[in-house]
């Protein structure tokens, strides 16, 4: 702007209106730059707050849609399945980490909705199994067809990974792997 004023034709100087318009444009650009800086600062503070909140989940259980988790068989293990329609027969097959079926939980007739189940950590003969990773396969007879159902299981949070460039934070769950924090249905059991 100073260079423009120094090099303008003295016989045709820039009008006051044009000069004021340029000043207003400079002021607007500066305001936008300051606004961007403020928004970036707020976003950074928000991400720090989310990271702090997520770190409090380490060592706790969260409920997520999964079929495989690490189980401490010294206590009853509780899970749930989402039954899409009423069924005369609902069951959950339990598989060990090697893929062998170790038990079947017969839940009988159930109405549609959330159906809770409990596994006592034993095999089909009643023998207590070792702690480890187990897979839970929920099924139901719906309209004379065997249908797979989604399971919601508790998993221990081992660590939290912060999102890159404003991305979602992920929880690293024992026996499950990494999932986005938005996939958590509940905290605790």
Write the DSSP symbol of residue 124. T
Q: Is residue 80 part of a domain?
A: yes
Domain with 92 in it: 66-153
* The pLDDT value given to residue 189: 55
CA-CA-CA-CA torsion sign (179, 181, 186, 187): positive
List of residues 6+ apart from 130 with CB closer than 8 A: 73
Q: Is residue 146 part of a domain?
A: yes
User: Structure pTM?
Assistant: 0.70
pLDDT digits (tens, 9 = 90+) for 23-49: 677 677 777 888 888 777 776 666 667
| pLDDT greater at residue 51 or residue 35 | 35
Closest CA to 136 of 150, 116, 126: 150
Count CB atoms within 10 A of the CB of residue 182: 8
* The pLDDT value given to residue 54: 74
Ranges 43-57, 75-89, 155-169, 172-186, most confident: 75-89
Q: Is residue 79 part of a domain?
A: yes
Between CA 53 and CA 91 the distance in angstroms is 37
pLDDT confidence band for 10 (50 / 70 / 90): low
How many independent structural domains does the chain possess?
Answer: 1
Closest CA to 85 of 137, 152, 149: 149
Q: Is residue 86 part of a domain?
A: yes
| Contact between 186 and 171 (Cβ < 8 Å) | no
CA-based R_g, the chain, Å: 30
CATH of the domain at 145: 2.60.40.4070
Closest CA to 120 of 87, 94, 142, 98: 94
Q: Is residue 85 part of a domain?
A: yes
Q: Is residue 125 part of a domain?
A: yes
Q: Is residue 3 part of a domain?
A: no
Structure tokens at 35: 């606004």
Q: Is residue 60 part of a domain?
A: no
Give DSSP secondary structure letters for 13-24.
PPPHHHHHHHHH
């Amino acid at each position: 702007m100073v260079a423009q004023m120094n090099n303008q034709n003295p016989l045709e100087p820039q009008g006051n209106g044009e000069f004021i318009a340029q000043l207003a444009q400079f002021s607007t650009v500066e305001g936008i730059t300051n606004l961007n800086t403020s928004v970036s600062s707020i976003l950074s503070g928000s991400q720090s707050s989310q990271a702090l909140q997520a770190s409090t989940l380490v060592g706790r259980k969260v409920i997520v849609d999964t079929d495989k988790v690490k189980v401490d068989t010294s206590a009853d293990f509780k899970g749930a399945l989402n039954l899409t329609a009423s069924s005369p027969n609902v069951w959950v097959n339990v598989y060990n980490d090697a893929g062998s079926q170790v038990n079947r939980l017969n839940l009988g007739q159930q109405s549609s909705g959330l159906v809770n189940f409990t596994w006592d950590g034993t095999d089909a003969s009643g023998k207590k199994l070792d702690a480890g990773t187990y897979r839970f396969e929920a099924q139901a007879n719906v309209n004379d067809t065997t249908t797979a159902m989604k399971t919601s299981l508790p998993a221990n949070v081992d660590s939290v990974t912060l999102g890159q460039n404003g991305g979602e934070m992920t929880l690293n769950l024992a026996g499950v792997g990494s999932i986005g924090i938005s996939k958590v249905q509940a905290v605790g059991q």
